[in-house]
Amino acid sequence: MIKIALCDDNRYLLGKLEELLYELAERHKLHIDVDCFEDGAKLLEKIKKRRAV
């Protein structure tokens, strides 16, 4: 499983990038998990929570 985090304040761009990543993963038979964040602070918060576990 490849975990990918995308961060951008443009919701449309995030959606398109996520779609493209899943299409590429399917084409190459890869298992991915994509998390999208519109705010860098929320991304950092999630990273800190994962490290605490």
Residues facing 35 on adjacent strands:
5
pTM: 0.82
Question: Domain coordinates of the chain in residue numbers?
Answer: 2-52
Biggest distance spanned by C-alpha atoms of the chain = 35
In tens, the pLDDT along 11-38 reads: 999 999 999 999 999 999 999 999 999 9
